[in-house]
Amino acid sequence: MSAATGPLPRLGASAPVSEVIAALDGAGCAVIESLVSPAAVAAVLGDLAPYMEATATGQDEISGALTRRTGAVPSRSPASWEMLQHPTVLAIAEHYLAGPDERFHICTAVTSDLLPGQRAQPIHRDQWTYGGFPWPRGFEVEINILWAMQEFTADNGATRVIPGSHLYDDGLELEQSVTVPATAPIGSAIVVLGSCYHGAGSNTSDMNRVALSVAYQRAWLRQGENQYLNCPPDVARTMPEGLVRLLGYQRGCMALGYWRDGEDPMAAVHPDRTYHVGLGMGPDPQGDNADA
């Protein structure tokens, strides 16, 4: 099977998370329209502009020869913190990627800036990142939130998705002709499960097309960006604790990711604060202890 099995679901910013999850269960992708304001988007782009200008374009087909991918967004853009921790996004990630003894964290937070003339990206699944491991159908390991940092149109390279493709076989080479453009107003969140086939569209317009792509993954997986180099403890100290934990300064599961003698990794960021010691999970990072 290689054609979309239904329309791309579209939800309003105030849709209950249960509706978003029902849409994602059905289609593997969805657009939540205007989830943040144009002003919030402009603030992030303002922070990132000098870094984006200085970023080289990619050197392979998947990176895009006319695409600039600028990373380390959390440390370069304080204005991005609200989007990275948007409650709707965290609730979706919690649903697909966490459990009673398992947390999720940020894999990558990168702008994807398609210059005019960029051809469509090959259609892929984000879960292929992990060495081609054959994840069971219905078991998500990653979700990607593609924030539309301007209006996304079919002409400027709106991300292309195949609704229903999260249930396809793995390893397919799919044509652009079976995809649909995730057109979206500025500030929208295009949510793509790791199992959903998709790719950046071709930019035939005369302007750049910018997405802020924030991927969340199960916390027992290696992060795409090395968040500890992007955000070492002296930088992490300036950030909200909930965000620092999302960057990986937490145990991912029991006895996974602790520091030295069973210490919480947050103790390396705030030596003056008291944290759980031991191999157990410690307090919930999204709970009341998140921002001591």
Ligand X SMILES: O=C(O)CCC(=O)C(=O)O
Compose the 183-202 pattern: x for residues touching ligand X by CB under 6 A, - for all others: ---------------xxx--
User: In whole angstroms, how far apart are CA 8 and each of 22, 142, 174, 226?
Assistant: 13, 19, 17, 33
Q: Please pick, from the candidates 77, 156, 159, 227, the single residue that binds ligand X as defined by CB under 6 A.
A: 159
Q: Which is nearer to ligand X, 199 or 285 (CB)?
A: 199
Nearest CB to ligand X, comparing residues 129 and 286: 129
> Tokens in use for 194?
């790791």
Among positions 26-85, residues that touch ligand X (CB under 6 A) are none
Q: Closer to ligand X by CB, 88 or 179: give it.
A: 179
Query: Residues 207-246 vs ligand X: string with x where CB under 6 A?
Result: ----x-x---------------------------------
Q: State the minimum distance, in angstroms, from the CB of residue 113 to ligand X.
A: 9
For residues 158 and 152, the answer to whether their CB atoms sit within 8 Å is: yes
Nearest to 70 by CA among 246, 211, 237: 211
* Mask for 126-155, x = binds ligand X (CB under 6 A): x-------------------x---------
Does the protein bind ligand X through residue 108 (CB under 6 A)? no
Q: Which is nearer to ligand X, 182 or 281 (CB)?
A: 182
- The CA distance from 224 to 234, in Å, is 21
10 Å CB burial of residue 213 (0-12, 13-18, 19+) is buried
Minimum distance, C-beta of residue 182 to ligand X, in the bound complex (Å): 8
Q: Are 126 and 166 in contact (CB under 8 A)?
A: no
* Distance of closest approach, residue 267 Cβ to ligand X, in angstroms: 34
112 binds ligand X (CB under 6 A): yes
Which 8-state DSSP code applies to residue 146?
E
Q: In whole angstroms, how close is the CB of 150 to ligand X at the nearest point?
A: 12
Nearer to ligand X, 75 or 213 (CB): 213
Tokens of 210: 């910018």
Measure CA of the first residue to CA of the last residue in the chain; give whole Å.
50
Helices (H), the chain: 17-27, 38-54, 73-76, 81-84, 87-97, 227-230, 233-236, 241-246, 266-269
Residues 45, 198, 115: CA angle, nearest 5 degrees: 40
Q: C-beta of 215: minimal distance to ligand X in Å?
A: 8
In whole angstroms, how close is the CB of 159 to ligand X at the nearest point? 3
Query: What type of residue is 101?
Result: D
Q: Minimum CB separation from ligand X for residue 129, in Å? A: 9
- The reply to whether 107 sits near ligand X by the rule CB under 6 A is no
- Report in angstroms how near the CB of residue 146 gets to ligand X at its nearest: 5
Binding-site residue total for ligand X (CB under 6 A)? 10
Quick check: 242 and 291 in contact, CB under 8 A? yes
The angle formed by the CA atoms of residues 259, 265 and 266, to the nearest 5 degrees, is: 150
Which residues are at the interface with ligand X (CB under 6 A)? 112, 121, 126, 146, 159, 198-200, 211, 213
